[in-house]
Amino acid sequence: MQYSAVIVAAGSGSRMNLGFNKVYAHLPEGCTILEKTMSVFLEDEDCVQIVVVTDAAEYLHHIQTRVPGRITFAMGGDTRQRSVLNGTMAAIADTVFIHDGARPFLSRELLDQLKETMETEEAALLAVPCKDTIKIVEHGYVRMTVERNTVCGAQTPQAFRTEKIIDCIHKAEQEGYTGTDDCSLAERYSNMRIKVVQGSYENYKITTPEDLR
């Protein structure tokens, strides 16, 4: 199954205190976070295009590797949701995988499972069971406890039929609604059923300096 990968890498990463976009920080193995994030898609022949949503000049300053014909740039927006829209509008495949630029440890096994799922589904995401007990809190007090076996932590990639997720984002923009992730827009503005694929706790997002160690 061929797909476009949209890698959202336009954030400032202020919590990393680097003074530049955190996706250009180096991992202990020597490459940047973004290079590691891109690598699993570059190694997959089914990925016909990688749309990197970032400042192209900054990318070229930090990363000199050329992959002619496969890497496309899209400008970041003032919100992640707008950045995703810019990226998906540039996608050439009928299926798009939307992935966090700062989530570099996606395995090929998980990617293949998501691809297999999208052979028959309209939308899917990676998710892991929550380890902690989840409380609903209002005004500083616990209102109720959520049944833990019904709660999962959403990860990326999140995969969709390209035109359908573009339509959902457009509707959200028109309404002034900002979703917490891409699937939340599909839930609100479409009748797509979103298939959950078992993720991995190793597929985490780098948020603070401690995550680089």
Is residue 43 a part of any domain in this protein? Answer: yes
Task: Look at the chain and report how many structural domains it folds into.
Answer: 1
| Amino acid occupying residue 42 | L
Q: What is the CATH number of the domain that holds 199?
A: 3.90.550.10
| pLDDT at residue 17, as a whole number | 60
Contacts of 186 (CB under 8 A, 6+ apart): 123, 160, 164, 165, 168, 192, 194
Is residue 212 a part of any domain in this protein? Answer: no
| pLDDT at residue 209, as a whole number | 74
Q: Write down the pTM of the prediction.
A: 0.93
Both tokens of 205, joined, read 């997002």
| pLDDT at residue 69, as a whole number | 78
Domain around 201 = 3-205
Is residue 185 a part of any domain in this protein? Answer: yes
DSSP string covering 145-200: EE-GGG-EEEEEEEEEEHHHHHHHHHHHHHHT---SSHHHHHHHH----EEEEE--
Is residue 75 a part of any domain in this protein? Answer: yes
Is residue 213 a part of any domain in this protein? Answer: no
Task: Decide if 174 contacts 167 (C-beta within 8 A).
Answer: no
| pLDDT at residue 13, as a whole number | 59
76-87 pLDDT tens trace: 999 999 999 999
Euclidean distance between CA atoms 53 and 40, whole angstroms? 17
Beta strands 123-129 and 95-100 are: unpaired
Tens-of-pLDDT digits for all 213 residues of the chain?
899 999 999 976 556 667 778 999 999 999 999 999 999 999 999 999 999 999 999 998 898 777 767 999 999 999 999 999 999 999 999 999 999 999 999 999 999 999 999 999 999 999 999 999 999 999 999 999 999 889 999 999 999 999 999 999 999 999 999 999 999 999 999 999 999 999 999 999 998 877 766
DSSP state of 144: E
| pLDDT at residue 21, as a whole number | 86
Is residue 211 a part of any domain in this protein? Answer: no
| pLDDT at residue 158, as a whole number | 98
DSSP state of 32: B
Is residue 184 a part of any domain in this protein? Answer: yes
Is residue 210 a part of any domain in this protein? Answer: no
